[in-house]
Amino acid sequence: MDKAIFMDNAATTRTDPEVLSAMIPYYQESFGSPATLYALGSEAKQAIELARQRTADLIGADQKEIFFTSGATESNNWAIRGVAEAREDKGRHIISNQAEHHSILMPLKHLQKRGWEVTLLPVDADGLVDPAAVKAAIRDDTVLISIVHANHEIGTIQPVEEIAGIAREKQVTFHVNGAQTAGHVPVDVARLGCDLFSLSAHKFYGPKGAGALWVRRGVRITPLLMGGAQEKKRRAGTHNVPGIVGLGKAAELARGNLENESRRLTDIRDYIIGRIESSMEDIRLNGHRSRRLPNNVNFSIEGIEGESIMLSLSYPTAKGARPVYISTGSACVSGTLEPSHILLALGLPAELAHGSVRISLSKESTREDAEYAVKALAEVCERLRAMSPIYKRGAKQCASGSDGRDCEAAS
Amino acid sequence: MDKAIFMDNAATTRTDPEVLSAMIPYYQESFGSPATLYALGSEAKQAIELARQRTADLIGADQKEIFFTSGATESNNWAIRGVAEAREDKGRHIISNQAEHHSILMPLKHLQKRGWEVTLLPVDADGLVDPAAVKAAIRDDTVLISIVHANHEIGTIQPVEEIAGIAREKQVTFHVNGAQTAGHVPVDVARLGCDLFSLSAHKFYGPKGAGALWVRRGVRITPLLMGGAQEKKRRAGTHNVPGIVGLGKAAELARGNLENESRRLTDIRDYIIGRIESSMEDIRLNGHRSRRLPNNVNFSIEGIEGESIMLSLSYPTAKGARPVYISTGSACVSGTLEPSHILLALGLPAELAHGSVRISLSKESTREDAEYAVKALAEVCERLRAMSPIYKRGAKQCASGSDGRDCEAAS
């Protein structure tokens, strides 16, 4: 079997060898807890403070405002529940949108059950939130707005600067989930103008189990994990030193080559989009065509299940064929049969949402791999459609949203 | 400088080489997310399910009832808040004790601010909770009892079986924090009779950043980390695959040699206690003499600060001397000047609580190292006492609690 092509990097990435090398000494040599004052502890303490600086540098933050977590889910949960609880004297209304990640939507749902009110704004056919709608939704008792920086499934980059301006004007705390942007596109939290920013190491070649929440000085937030005095009493628990060191190293590596790599991936992304659109019919690009993550491609493919496509690509039967790993819907809900709530929020009918595939690139992705993947995708879809009882060529259900055409149900 | 002697293993342990070797492939080879259905994901999925089985086996649990977390702080926070929120229709009263870990006390304090009532029972001079007091504290609206299995600072093992019997009789959910016992003493959750059990990998030679909460089938608990469908929708977030694999391997290794190792460490522990008691004066053993973790020694040393002792031992000035790493108070609050709330709960005056040291052993600890450490401790204390403006030989403030003598303030 030839070398596999991994194009599911929005789910998780391979840990960079330099990142792993940086982590190893903290398992067996400098394995002390940073909370302790003796030499072994100091080594660990210095290591996590260097990681804090590097993480801060990646997003233009002050290192004193970086708090380490176990990943973006914890960061997002913390931001939502922590600000809601800290600000409940002011009000209990929160604004977000229908196409958010579950790690935002679920804590919001939890708060709703406990007396908070939540406004989930719609998104347009490209997945964009309208800043004017955010402004209109703000009430006297609104304490928090949470909008993802870029959608993990369809790659659409939100107008967060504009929303930040509105939030600031109305003195509402603004959280941005940057799990898909940190390490992939230039991020400067000062320029973004938000108050909290979540990130996750394993999305940019760092280890799983490590992330951070940036909390602007002065922002009120109660801890989510409570106990020891770690992280200035804001996030308890023995530091995951190797994980944090890995996050820091990944941040340093990403920052060193951010603009070049972002451009390189954008080229490959657009190559893939162009090739799919020119070689396949009855397909729809999901997400905005240009306001889009450099490494994200998402298509709905009429008449077949995304899961069948994904599995066929990952277990190729032809001799010498290379497995291609992509995803369908959101990796977090894979294994369930629910169609992606994000694709439904775009206005896609459930059948099209079921037939979606996401191709997400990494620094390992090459133009040659992209070419191979697109060819394999086209062949697999051709084969699956030939067997599909529901696919009728040309019975168009869909058109790309950013061309101004909306989805229509097939007649 | 000679090889350091690390005797602060209740804070954290060196990751076992076999554990690290087991983890490595999941950073760069089988780095997929277990939530995905293709081969890379399946490899990760199989790995975490094996880890789940091994973790379950360590504590006599059903693997279906093991939920992976980022460590004991998360497990403890989750148990407290999750059960409180799930059961609030029944009542809002929780029972715990004054000598608990901060990762129990802080979420309890948080709940108190939000309308829950908390009864913190006292402990006796040895740190024991009285089961009769637990029984007496149970009210109609009591929904949760949380008692640590063994105290992280003084090593006292609580009568959890007895308390479990009471909890079961009264139909109150019972959580046990086993961060210090799992992997160190035989644990069988069925025999213990509790409903939830927390554990942490890095306390028994696994990696930092990985732990678990065992939740007996049928126990109602809301998630703490919400989002994706991982862990049967009970704990969201991309699995920390290498960390979980490390936890599983550490559990397997610990289980293989649990009784022998527990006996070996008990011998070294009692040797250290005996040597300190025979060679030093004006000292007090903290914690129960026999109902005690095999790897825990804790003494109050009159007239000097625990921090000075710790630092002097860790940075020895004599040529060729070996650094000895121990702790003072709880590692989690090191860096603060507050005396340990646990030692205060035993009835110790603040001065004695300040002068406490904890020596905690690991599988690397030898009798020879113990001998060296005790000698170094005695020398350091002699030297510091000679410089101490407050130490008066024989002006006894303290006596060991388990001898039935109580602490008295020095006149």
Q: Which of B76, B237, B310 sits opposite A73 (nearest CB)?
A: B237
pLDDT at A203: 98
pLDDT at B14: 97
Please say which residue of A198, A224, A256 terminates a domain: A256
Nearest chain A residue to B324, by CA:
A38
Smallest CA–CA distance, residue B361 to chain A, in Å, is 14
Smallest CA–CA distance, residue A254 to chain B, in Å, is 17
B336 to A229: CB separation less than 8 angstroms, yes or no? yes
B72: which residues sit within 8 A by CB, 6+ positions away?
Answer: A237, B101, B103, B177, B179, B198, B199, B200, B203, B211
Helix (H, G, I), strand (E, B) or coil at B96: strand
A73 to B228: CB separation less than 8 angstroms, yes or no? yes
Q: In angstroms, what CA-CA distances link B66 with A369, B54, B189, B195, B392?
A: 40, 10, 12, 12, 53
Average pLDDT over residues B303-307: 91
Is B211 domain-assigned?
A: yes
Longest dimension (CA), chain A: 73
Could you tell me the pLDDT band of residue B384, with boundaries at 50, 70 and 90? very high
For residue range B195-226, list pLDDT tens digits in order: 999 999 999 999 999 999 999 999 999 999 99
Alpha helices in B286-340 (DSSP H): 306-314
Q: Which of B36, B202, B210 sits opposite A11 (nearest CB)?
A: B36
Residues of B in contact with A40 (CB under 8 A): 4, 6, 325
More confident residue, B37 or B234: B234
Residues of B in contact with A38 (CB under 8 A): 8, 310-311, 314-315, 323, 325
Give the 3-state secondary structure of chain A. Answer: CCCCEECECCCCCCCCHHHHHHHCHHHHCCCCCCCCCCHHHHHHHHHHHHHHHHHHHHCCCCHHHEEEECCHHHHHHHHHHHHHHHCCCCCCEEEEECCCCHHHHHHHHHHHHCCCEEEEECCCCCCCCCHHHHHHHCCCCEEEEEEECECCCCCEECCHHHHHHHHHHCCCEEEEECCCCCCCCCCCHHHHCCCEEEEEHHHCCCCCCCEEEEECCCCCCCCCCCCCCHHHHCCCCCCCHHHHHHHHHHHHHHHHCHHHHHHHHHHHHHHHHHHHHHHCCCEEECCCCCCECCCEEEEEECCCCHHHHHHHHHCCCCCCCCCEECECCCHHHCCCCCCCHHHHHCCCCHHHHHCEEEEECCCCCCHHHHHHHHHHHHHHHHHHHHHCCCCCCCCCCCCCHHHCCCCCCCC
Please say which residue of B237, B256, B275 terminates a domain: B256
Q: Which of B11, B20, B72 sits opposite A27 (nearest CB)?
A: B20
Are residues A291 and A179 part of one domain?
A: no
Residues of A in contact with B321 (CB under 8 A): none
Read off the amino acid at residue B264. Answer: R
Vertex A28: Cα angle to A27 and A33 (nearest 5): 65
Q: Any catalytic annotation for residue A381?
A: no
Assign residue B324 a region: left if phi > 0, alpha if psi is -120 to 50, beta otherwise? beta
Q: Which of A102, A209, A310 sits opposite B37 (nearest CB)?
A: A310
pLDDT at B376: 97
Helix (H, G, I), strand (E, B) or coil at B301: strand
Are residues A196 and A297 part of one domain?
A: no
Say what percent of chain B tops pLDDT 90.
Answer: 85
Nearest chain B residue to A27, by CA:
B15
Are residues B221 and B273 part of one domain?
A: no
Is B240 domain-assigned?
A: yes
A35 to B335: CB separation less than 8 angstroms, yes or no? yes
Nearest chain A residue to B329, by CA:
A36
For residue range B236-283, list pLDDT tens digits in order: 999 999 999 999 999 999 999 999 999 999 999 999 999 999 999 999
Smallest CA–CA distance, residue B81 to chain A, in Å, is 10
pLDDT at A2: 60
Nearest chain B residue to A234, by CA:
B106
Q: Which of A13, A71, A310 sits opposite B38 (nearest CB)?
A: A310
Are residues A298 and A263 part of one domain?
A: yes
B103 to A226: CB separation less than 8 angstroms, yes or no? yes
pLDDT at A406: 41
pLDDT at A272: 98
**Domain span at B153:** 17-256
Q: Which of B40, B224, B334 sits opposite A35 (nearest CB)?
A: B334
End-to-end Cα distance, chain A: 43
pLDDT at B409: 35
Residues of B in contact with A76 (CB under 8 A): 227
pLDDT at B395: 66
More confident residue, B111 or A331: B111
Residues of B in contact with A101 (CB under 8 A): 227
Is A410 domain-assigned?
A: no
Are residues B313 and B212 part of one domain?
A: no
Are residues B202 and B68 part of one domain?
A: yes
Vertex B11: Cα angle to B150 and B270 (nearest 5): 60
Helix (H, G, I), strand (E, B) or coil at B119: strand
Smallest CA–CA distance, residue A72 to chain B, in Å, is 7
Catalytically annotated residue among A194, A332, A398, A407: A332
Residues of A in contact with B310 (CB under 8 A): 37-38
B17 to A28: CB separation less than 8 angstroms, yes or no? yes
A32 to B335: CB separation less than 8 angstroms, yes or no? no
Q: What are phi and psi of B183, to 5 degrees?
A: 85, -5
Average pLDDT over residues B121-139: 98
Residues of A in contact with B315 (CB under 8 A): 38-39
pLDDT at B401 over 50: no
Q: What is the mean pLDDT, run by run of 10 residues, along chain A of 411 residues? A: 87 97 96 87 95 98 98 98 97 98 98 97 98 98 98 98 98 98 98 98 98 98 96 96 98 96 98 98 97 98 92 91 88 62 92 92 98 97 92 66 39 32
Catalytically annotated residue among B332, B381, B398, B407: B332
Is A307 domain-assigned?
A: yes
Residues of A in contact with B39 (CB under 8 A): 4, 314-315, 323, 325
Q: What is the mean pLDDT of chain B?
A: 93
Is A398 domain-assigned?
A: no
Is B181 domain-assigned?
A: yes
Look up the CATH number of the domain holding residue B265: 3.90.1150.10
Distance CA A39, CA A32 (A): 8
The question of ipTM being above 0.90 is answered as yes
Look up the CATH number of the domain holding residue B111: 3.40.640.10
Between chain A and chain B, the number of residue pairs with CB atoms below 8 A apart is: 262
Smallest CA–CA distance, residue B253 to chain A, in Å, is 16
Are residues B262 and B229 part of one domain?
A: no
A6 to B40: CB separation less than 8 angstroms, yes or no? yes
Are residues B137 and B187 part of one domain?
A: yes
For residue range B58-73, list pLDDT tens digits in order: 999 999 999 999 999 9
Residues of B in contact with A327 (CB under 8 A): 36
Smallest CA–CA distance, residue A205 to chain B, in Å, is 9
Mutation target among B70, B80, B146, B200 for the A interface, most CBs of A within 10 A: B70
B207 to A32: CB separation less than 8 angstroms, yes or no? no
Instruction: List b or e across B269-297, with b for residues whose CB sees 16 or more CB atoms inside 10 angstroms.
Output: beebbebbeeebebbbbbbbeebbbbbbb
Instruction: Kindly state the tokens that stand for B250.
Output: 């550490």
Are residues B230 and B85 part of one domain?
A: yes
Nearest chain B residue to A326, by CA:
B38
Residues of A in contact with B10 (CB under 8 A): none
pLDDT at B397: 59
pLDDT at A396: 61
Smallest CA–CA distance, residue A193 to chain B, in Å, is 26
pLDDT at B174: 98
Q: What are phi and psi of A120, to 5 degrees?
A: -105, 105
Could you tell me the pLDDT band of residue B338, with boundaries at 50, 70 and 90? confident
pLDDT at A400: 46
Say what percent of chain B tops pLDDT 70.
Answer: 93
Smallest CA–CA distance, residue B70 to chain A, in Å, is 6
Is A399 domain-assigned?
A: no
B380: which residues sit within 8 A by CB, 6+ positions away?
Answer: B309, B312, B313
Is B408 domain-assigned?
A: no
What is the total count of domains within chain A? 2
Are residues A206 and A111 part of one domain?
A: yes
Q: Which of A74, A229, A241 sits opposite B332 (nearest CB)?
A: A229
Average pLDDT over residues B345-352: 90
pLDDT at B334 over 60: no
Are residues A270 and A246 part of one domain?
A: no
Please say which residue of A229, A256, A283 terminates a domain: A256
For residue range A343-388, list pLDDT tens digits in order: 999 999 888 888 999 999 999 999 999 999 999 999 999 999 999 8
Are residues B175 and B262 part of one domain?
A: no
Tracing tokens 């951010």 back to the chain, one arrives at: A258
CB neighbours of residue B126 within 10 Å: 22
Q: Which of B76, B110, B229 sits opposite A332 (nearest CB)?
A: B229
pLDDT at A194: 98
